[in-house]
Amino acid sequence: MARASVIQNQFTRGELSPRMRGRIDLTQYYQGCRTMQNWLPLSHGGATVRPGLRYVAAAKDATSVSRLLPFVFNITDSYALEFADQAMRVFRERGQVVAEATDAAISNGTFDAGISGWSDKSTGTASIGYDAGNQRLQLSGNGSDIAIAEQAVAIGAAFRNVEHVVKLEVQGDSNAGTVKLRVGTSSGANDILADTVLQTGYHCREFDLGGAATVYLQFRNEENANHFVDNVSLIDDAVVEIATPYGEADLFTLKFVQDADTM
């Protein structure tokens, strides 16, 4: 028996369900195939070979599971987010986001030594203190006065024109709180980084020094509540990594949605 050759020039339906086999009465039958391996269907009908992969960087921990999630900031700026065991890293433009080198350092950013190294610049009856049970900085506001903790950070001459990245954790009463971060070239100033609202959670913020030899970093609480700051540091020539509450077992149960530039 002679075989008939049939031209199929449309694959817009991709792989078809086994329930579609023999359904020549349906238009979709002529627009897909049983198996499409290492090919991608094109919107105008044909198909193209799947692009290859390239090595970008090692996972955070080769002995445990990581998960990649997409984040599209806008039509020209997209990212891949690596979620690992209680950590998140960021990839962009075929590379990993890495902070530049610096000789600057936050003094007592984990608050193991109380709040030494931090100055109380609070107004009125607001104040800063030490939550000894959790080893963290406490900002006690009253709704009218502002609780302010400040630290002066010296920058070496070779690093005064590179972007710096600070990472930290914000905590609050009933696990909710808002703290403002500002950075300036003098005490209380915000000419380097204007007041930035940080909700409860883990944060990284970048700022350009503009040649400054010393910068003043402030945490401010304007609310009538106790809010807390912990694990403050400047990233030095290392991958930008944000702590998360998600363990390895949680990664593939995470559900996410994006609305504009918020994920």
Cα angle vertex 254, ends 166, 96, to 5°?
A: 40
Question: From residue 242, how far is each of 89, 90, 100 by CA, in Å?
Answer: 7, 9, 16
Number of structural domains (the chain) is 3
**CATH number for the domain including 176?**
2.60.120.260
pLDDT reading at 123 higher than 80: yes
Residue 107: its pLDDT value, please? 97
User: Are 251 and 66 in contact, with CB atoms under 8 Å apart?
Assistant: yes
Q: Which of 52, 72, 87 is the last residue of a domain?
A: 52
> What is the spatial distance between Cα 87 and Cα 167, in angstroms, rounded to a whole number?
13
Judge whether 102 lies within some domain: no
pLDDT reading at 260 higher than 90: no
Highest mean pLDDT among 5-9, 39-43, 108-112: 108-112
Question: Same domain for 3 and 75?
Answer: no
Residue 47: its pLDDT value, please? 87
Residue 44: its pLDDT value, please? 86
Mean pLDDT of 177-202: 94
Residue 175: its pLDDT value, please? 56
Question: Same domain for 127 and 234?
Answer: yes
Question: Same domain for 214 and 231?
Answer: yes
> What is the spatial distance between Cα 209 and Cα 156, in angstroms, rounded to a whole number?
11
Judge whether 65 lies within some domain: yes
Question: Same domain for 136 and 195?
Answer: yes
Which structural domain, as residue segments, surrounds residue 59? Answer: 55-95+241-257
Residue 62: its pLDDT value, please? 87
User: Are 183 and 169 in contact, with CB atoms under 8 Å apart?
Assistant: no
More confident position, 177 or 220: 220
User: Are 84 and 64 in contact, with CB atoms under 8 Å apart?
Assistant: yes
Judge whether 5 lies within some domain: yes
Question: Same domain for 46 and 7?
Answer: yes
Question: Same domain for 233 and 123?
Answer: yes
> What is the spatial distance between Cα 128 and Cα 18, in angstroms, rounded to a whole number?
66
Question: Same domain for 36 and 91?
Answer: no
Question: Same domain for 126 and 184?
Answer: yes
Judge whether 225 lies within some domain: yes
Going 41 to 47 to 48 to 50, the CA torsion angle's sign is: positive
> What is the spatial distance between Cα 201 and Cα 177, in angstroms, rounded to a whole number?
9
> What is the spatial distance between Cα 223 and Cα 208, in angstroms, rounded to a whole number?
28
